[in-house]
């Protein structure tokens, strides 16, 4: 499992239960003030992937889709149509997914992310 949080905290890693920490909320906190409901605690989502074999391309794609969905949950959409807030939300998702992929550390997932995100190595 991956646990996507909106702030850093130290974790132990386990093969099929890898806690994932994302610094996206720290990026957003400088740009978007937190709402009263979410100011006290960071948002988090746990992404399970023990059912996947990341050597298989279709399972790598499934995990990547799960990471994107989790990042969208952690990185709240902007409450207004402000271009700055929309851009900050998109950056949060992008950075959270990149951090998740790096934390998983599986070459197939890293390559898949590079292809999908247009990352150049």
Mean pLDDT (the chain) is 73
Domain count, the chain: 1
Q: Which of 110, 108, 103 is nearest to 17 (CA)?
A: 103
The more confidently predicted of residues 108 and 6 is: 108
Q: Is the pTM of this model over 0.85?
A: no
* Domain assignment of residue 99, given as a range: 2-117
Token pair 């996947």: residue: 52
Q: How far is CA 17 from each of CA 39, 71, 103, 112, rounded to the nearest angstrom?
A: 27, 18, 12, 21
Q: Is the pLDDT of residue 1 over 50?
A: yes
Q: Looking at the predicted structure, is the pLDDT value of residue 113 above 70?
A: yes
The count of C-alpha atoms lying within 13 angstroms of the C-alpha of 64, restricted to the half-sphere facing its C-beta, is 21
The angle, 0 to 180 degrees and rounded to 10, between the axes of the packed helices 57-74 and 107-117 is 60
Rounded mean pLDDT of 6-35?
37
CA 49 – CA 70 distance, rounded (Å): 13
Q: Which of 110, 101, 112, 103 is nearest to 58 (CA)?
A: 112
């Amino acid at each position: 499992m991956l646990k996507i949080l909106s702030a850093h905290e130290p974790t132990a890693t386990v093969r099929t239960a890898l806690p994932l920490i994302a610094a996206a909320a720290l990026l957003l906190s400088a740009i978007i003030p937190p709402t009263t409901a979410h100011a006290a605690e960071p948002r988090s989502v746990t992404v399970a992937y023990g059912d996947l074999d990341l050597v298989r391309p279709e399972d790598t794609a499934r995990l990547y889709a799960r990471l994107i969905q989790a990042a969208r949950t952690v990185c709240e959409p902007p409450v207004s149509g402000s271009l700055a807030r929309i851009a900050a939300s998109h950056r949060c998702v992008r950075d959270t997914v990149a951090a998740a992929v790096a934390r998983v550390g599986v070459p197939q997932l890293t390559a898949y992310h590079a292809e999908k995100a247009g990352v150049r190595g």
